[in-house]
Amino acid sequence: MSPAAAPDVERLRADTPGCAERVHLNNAGAALPPAVVHATVTAHLERECRVGGYEAAAEAAERLDRFYPSIADLIGGGPDEIAYVENATRAFDMAFYAVPFREGDRILTAEAEYPSNALAYLQVARRTGAVVEVVPSDRAGGLDVAALERMIDDRVKLIALNHVPTHGGLVNPAAEIGAVARRHGILYLLDACQSVGQIPLDVEAIGCDMLAATGRKYLRGPRGTGFLWVRRARLAELEPPFVDQHAATWVTADDFALREDARRFENWEFYVAGKLGLAAAADYACAVDVAAMWPRIRDLAARLRRELTAVAGVVVRDQGPELCGIVSFTKADEDAADLSARLRTRSINTSVADGPAHFDRHRRTYGAAVRASVHAYNTEDELAQLVGAVADGR
Ligand SMILES: Cc1ncc(COP(=O)(O)O)c(C=O)c1O
């Protein structure tokens, strides 16, 4: 396959009204939406206001159906394997709590796991007697695939982890993990919350069975939107933890049948404008091409790490065999929250990562860090503004 052409940064910026307002380096918090996403959401809200919510949804029925092929175009798989869910946590939970765990089952996860995912594992372990085990990291800081392989036995029910953890630039080796899961026929749930829209994803190449994602981060969709992908061949064994009259149909007065497609994980009531906006974001990401943006995101982040490292007192905290657009750093004489707030007064948006991930606490020695997350629409000049402001001091 020939490499994708470099993205047209001028076009990306022209499509993104927020670029004119701020230096937005909080793309792992919520990226700036392209104008088409904003227009799609507001146009639908306007119709709801004028003709009524149900009536506006009926008008948009065909476009709402196109949500599923739009997401499939982005990540692979089929439209029937996709559910619209309100955020990545709930998407992840709908899949995770659908797994029929029994006492002694093993759940394998990564050290740098997202805390809400870790809470779900621990709750299920408490309820069922399943056990949660953390696969060690390799020296570079990503999940150690050889160690994962050594931990596999008949009791491993699920491998579940985040692709890109919340607090730093690490990219876990999702496809290598998928190869292990496939070889042993083990269910594999990937939290792609921070990778979707940033890193080209293909569920077949990754080899996962379930993939959860959010709309607002690198995908640039509306807040309060997300989706779940579930492999068709696995659907029958995964019973949603909640069932409503969208997920199931009545068979007799006291019996029901679950939908056969992944929409068994959806709610009857949903944020209609958000679903349209998320489909628009997926279409936009496909049009500008995630594969074209990804090398630029990586290069900008690598440059930012180099430039920040040259600032007195700054320590870049990212670890991993492969790093992405998220750059986390601390400064010796300035608290991370204060520094991020100071940057915001200069119209530079960053966020604060509240320290290490749950299972990672023994390995990471620093507390909170500033998280600057670059997207393809950011420029070298914007990075220089950030570095200059960090260096300036209070
Ligand atoms: C790795 C990871 N997983 C899941 C989530 C949760 O996503 P959401 O807020 O859409 O539920 C986040 C949010 O920051 C995250 O960083």
Whose C-alpha lies nearest to ligand 1, atom 16? Answer: 166
Point out the ligand 1 atom lying closest to the alpha carbon of residue 164: 1
Nearest partner of 76 among 189, 201, 167, 192, judged by Cα: 201
Output the CA 100–ligand 1 centroid distance in Å. Answer: 24
Point out the ligand 1 atom lying closest to the alpha carbon of residue 215: 10
Question: What single-letter DSSP state applies at residue 3?
Answer: P
64 backbone dihedrals φ, ψ, rounded to 5°? -65, -35
Output the CA 150–ligand 1 centroid distance in Å. Answer: 29
Kindly tell me if the per-residue pLDDT of 19 is higher than 90.
yes
Q: Which of 86, 113, 116, 271 to mutate to test the pocket of ligand 1 (most atoms within 8 A of CB)?
A: 116
What the chain holds in terms of domains, given with CATH numbers, is 9-32+289-392 (3.90.1150.10), 37-287 (3.40.640.10)
Output the CA 320–ligand 1 centroid distance in Å. Answer: 19
Residue-wise pLDDT for 240-282, tens only, equals 999 999 999 999 999 999 999 999 999 999 999 999 999 999 9
Q: What is the pLDDT of residue 1?
A: 55
b/e per residue, 284-323, with b = 16+ CB within 10 A?
Answer: bbeebebebbbebbbebbebbbebbeebeebebbbbbbeb
Whose C-alpha lies nearest to ligand 1, atom 13? Answer: 166
Residue-wise pLDDT for 154-212, tens only, equals 999 999 999 999 999 999 999 999 999 999 999 999 999 999 999 999 999 999 999 99
Q: What is the pLDDT of residue 75?
A: 98
Give the 3-state secondary structure of residue 208: coil
DSSP 139-170: TTSSB-HHHHHHH--TTEEEEEEESS-TTSSB
Point out the ligand 1 atom lying closest to the alpha carbon of residue 163: 1
Kindly tell me if the per-residue pLDDT of 334 is higher than 80.
yes
Token match 């320590």: residue? Answer: 315
Point out the ligand 1 atom lying closest to the alpha carbon of residue 167: 16
Percent of the chain past pLDDT 90, that is, above it, reads 94
Helices marked H in the chain — which ranges? 9-14, 27-30, 35-51, 53-59, 61-65, 67-75, 88-96, 115-128, 145-151, 174-184, 203-206, 232-235, 272-288, 290-309, 336-345, 380-392
Output the CA 307–ligand 1 centroid distance in Å. Answer: 28
Output the CA 261–ligand 1 centroid distance in Å. Answer: 25
CA 176, 318, 364, 29 torsion: positive or negative? negative
Contact 278, 222 (CB under 8 A): yes
Output the CA 253–ligand 1 centroid distance in Å. Answer: 39
Output the CA 182–ligand 1 centroid distance in Å. Answer: 25
Angstrom distances, CA of residue 262 to CA of 63, 145, 186, 217, 238: 19, 29, 19, 23, 10
Output the CA 346–ligand 1 centroid distance in Å. Answer: 27
Output the CA 91–ligand 1 centroid distance in Å. Answer: 10
Instruction: Report residue 366's pLDDT band, with 50, 70 and 90 as the boundaries.
Output: confident
Q: What is the pLDDT of residue 360?
A: 76
Partner residues linked to 210 by β-bridges: 189, 230
Point out the ligand 1 atom lying closest to the alpha carbon of residue 92: 4
Distance separating alpha carbons of residues 277 and 221, to the nearest angstrom: 6
Distance separating alpha carbons of residues 338 and 350, to the nearest angstrom: 11
Residues framing ligand 1 (Cβ under 6 A):
87-89, 114, 162, 165-166, 191, 193-194, 214, 226
Output the CA 92–ligand 1 centroid distance in Å. Answer: 9
Please report, in angstroms and rounded to a whole number, the separation of the first and last CA atoms in the chain: 49
Give the 3-state secondary structure of residue 340: helix
Distance separating alpha carbons of residues 218 and 375, to the nearest angstrom: 7
Q: What is the pLDDT of residue 290?
A: 98
Q: What is the pLDDT of residue 111?
A: 94
Instruction: Report residue 4's pLDDT band, with 50, 70 and 90 as the boundaries.
Output: confident
**37: how many CB neighbours lie within 10 A of its CB?**
27
Percent of the chain past pLDDT 70, that is, above it, reads 97
Give CA 390 to chain center in angstroms.
Answer: 28
Tally of CA atoms within 13 A in the half-sphere of 311 that contains its CB: 23
234 backbone dihedrals φ, ψ, rounded to 5°? -100, -10
Q: Which of 191, 193, 218, 324 to mutate to test the pocket of ligand 1 (most atoms within 8 A of CB)?
A: 193
Q: What is the pLDDT of residue 393?
A: 75
Whose C-alpha lies nearest to ligand 1, atom 7? Answer: 88
Distance separating alpha carbons of residues 200 and 75, to the nearest angstrom: 8
140 backbone dihedrals φ, ψ, rounded to 5°? -75, -20
Give the 3-state secondary structure of residue 361: coil
* β-strand pairing of 156-162 with 106-110: parallel
Q: Which of 111, 214, 219 to mutate to test the pocket of ligand 1 (most atoms within 8 A of CB)?
A: 214
